[in-house]
Every structure is written in C-alpha cells, then in structure tokens.
C-alpha cells in the first residue's frame, strides 16, 4: 500500500472520467457488446480492488487504468482461447462455407479443398480473416499468438493457397 486513499467521490470521478475511454478500448477488442460490458465492469472492479496499490510515482492514473484494461482483455482471450466465435467457425465444414456463398461453386470447391490442405492454424486464420472479417490483430488475440506471428502465418497460408489454386 502506498498510503494514498481515495474518497468515495474520487472513486466516482475515476469511473466518470475513465468509463468512456475504457469502454471504447474494450469495445474495439471485443465484438459482442454484452461481453464487452462485462469486461468493462471487470476492469473497474479490478481498479477499485487495486486502488490502494496505485503508485503515482510509477505511472499516471490513466496509464495504470489502461494497463488494467489491457490485461483484463488479454485475460478474457486467454480464458476463452477457443471461444464461441472461434470454435463455431473452426468446426464448420469448409465445403458448407463454400456452398453458402457460392457464386462460382467450382472455384469455391477448389478453395475449400485448398483450405483443407492447410494446417489447422493456417486454415483457422484464413477463415476468420476472410470469411468472418476479423482483423489479424484480433485473430492473433483470439488464437493466443503475437500479431507478428499471425502476419507470418497469414502470408505463408496465402502463398500455400495460391500454389494449390
């Protein structure tokens, strides 16, 4: 404990001042608005629980709260490494996906076959990026990997697909 104590009014002001920023940050990372609101609540719960350990000589209050927000989002993705949105599409039959959107069934059948030949991570990344429209940054968090690694896997997967098509 650093000796700083916050009054109820100061705690309320922290929430009022930082809620819009924390909410925007979390909503940018979590697509489901209900899940995002739960995460925002968790952030402020952690902020209030750890407020006694806040040390202004180490970081500004905004930096400290942002760090808690970021860590809460990371924890969310770690706990749900294969969360519903990810699992839902990874269990999908790739031929079904091709048939659902098929302006040119033959070409999409070739694509489904080429996707089937990819490794699991490559296939998952390609399906999430191109079929679901997630950014590589979000996919990296969903799959528990670095953004740089997601970019490398994406590049290799596309090269592999081009070679098979």
Domains for the chain: give ranges and CATH numbers: 8-79 (1.10.1740.10), 84-164 (1.20.140.160)
**Do 115 and 126 meet the contact criterion of CB atoms below 8 Å apart?**
yes
Q: Is 151 exposed, middle or buried (0-12, 13-18, 19+ CB in 10 A)?
A: middle
| DSSP 8-state symbol, 127 | I
Q: How far is CA 139 from CA 29, 85, 147, 153, 158, in A?
A: 10, 11, 8, 11, 16
pLDDT at 37: 92
pLDDT along the chain (165 residues), means of 10: 70 90 88 89 92 86 89 80 48 44 57 80 82 83 87 89 80
pLDDT at 45: 93
**Do 6 and 43 meet the contact criterion of CB atoms below 8 Å apart?**
no
pLDDT at 42: 93
Q: Distance (Å, rounded) from C-alpha 87 to C-alpha 30? A: 16
- Radius of gyration of the chain from its Cα atoms, rounded to whole angstroms: 21
Q: Which two tokens stand for residue 36?
A: 């995002």
Q: Distance (Å, rounded) from C-alpha 4 to C-alpha 95? A: 60
Return the residue matching tokens 């191109």: 130
pTM: 0.49
């Amino acid at each position: 404990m650093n000796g700083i104590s916050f009054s109820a009014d100061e705690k309320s002001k922290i929430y009022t001042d930082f809620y819009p920023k924390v909410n925007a940050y979390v909503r940018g990372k979590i697509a489901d608005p209900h899940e995002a609101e739960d995460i925002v609540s968790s952030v402020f719960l952690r902020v209030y629980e750890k407020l006694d350990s806040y040390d202004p000589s180490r970081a500004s209050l905004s930096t400290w709260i942002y760090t808690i927000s970021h860590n809460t989002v990371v924890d969310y993705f770690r706990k749900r490494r294969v969360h519903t949105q990810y699992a839902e599409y990874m269990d999908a039959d790739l031929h079904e996906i091709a048939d659902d959107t098929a302006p040119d069934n033959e070409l999409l059948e070739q694509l489904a076959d080429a996707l089937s030949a990819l490794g699991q991570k490559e296939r998952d990344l390609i399906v999430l990026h191109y079929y679901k429209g997630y950014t590589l940054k979000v996919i990296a968090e969903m799959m528990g990997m670095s953004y740089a690694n997601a970019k490398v896997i994406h590049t290799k997967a596309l090269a592999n697909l081009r070679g098979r098509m």
